[in-house]
Amino acid sequence: MSKLKIIITGANGQLGRELAEWTTETAEIIGFGRNELDITSLPACRNIFTLHQPDVVIHCAAYTAVDKAESEPDEAFRVNASATRNVAVASREVGAKLCYISTDYVFDGTGTTPYNEYDQTNPRTVYGKSKYAGEQLVQTLHDRYYIVRTSWVFGKYGNNFVKTMLKMAGERDQLKVVADQIGSPTYTYDLSTFLIELVQTEYYGIYHASNSGICSWYDFAKAIFEDSGSNILLEPCTTADFPRPAPRPGYSVMDHSAIRSNGLNVLRPWREALNHYLKDSE
């Protein structure tokens, strides 16, 4: 049986790099960073996809500077919407399935029960609106797509909350972390495992993928310090204590109903994932 050929966009990013360096018996994976593939150019997307003839494109490239997007809406939409259109058009033309990585920011974060895949979206930030525009373009321009919304991503590549907390622990005696934003961390290793499994199926549609269980950023930080043996004094604070240009979702827990209903593997509890990450990065 021939191997599945997968192209990864955004291969220098946190998730993209994890995927680009993934080894699997069933797939050949080729990653393209910003320098090798300019997704904002439709001819560039067409050239690369025509040359490589992928079976699947996993579109990780994105504009992710949540606060900066508020003052650069055109740039956020150019990358998250228009460039996603280019990837959708070019992948469909070569007959490749498309997996688009989206975000919990497509919801308004005012919920009190986990969001499922068909709940009403209502993005409140430029970043969330631009990612949702990308989702809509994928749905209208491609006929075989997976949209995977994820949240609170951490892993061995790129900057993330876990790395920031470990760095702070080395520099300070005490720290305040917001305790009124609730969500689910997602480990890039576990998310990659899920994505590689998903794109080998015909189970198209929208998915919510994060590690199991919920916590606040404060709980998450507490676990990071406990499990890494740090003695920093940690105090809870509120979102109001740290005003940011883009409003943060108060509640961004996502229900994994599509993963369950399609009989796919639910991601392990976030604390287990955190421990795997900490051991792996020692």
Q: Tell me the catalytic residues.
A: 127
SS3 state of residue 147: strand
Distances (CA, A) of 197 to 100, 112, 117, 126, 202: 15, 30, 19, 31, 11
Q: Could you report how far apart the first and last alpha carbons of the chain are, in Å?
A: 38
In angstroms, rounded to a whole number, what is the distance separating the alpha carbons of residues 58 and 101?
8
Q: Are 240 and 250 in contact (CB under 8 A)?
A: no
Q: How far apart are CA 185 and CA 215, in angstroms?
A: 8
Cα–Cα distance measured from residue 266 to residue 155, given in angstroms and rounded to the nearest whole number: 18
How much of the chain is in helix, strand and coil states, percent to nearest 5?
A: 40, 20, 40
* Residue that is written with structure tokens 């993005």 in the block: 123
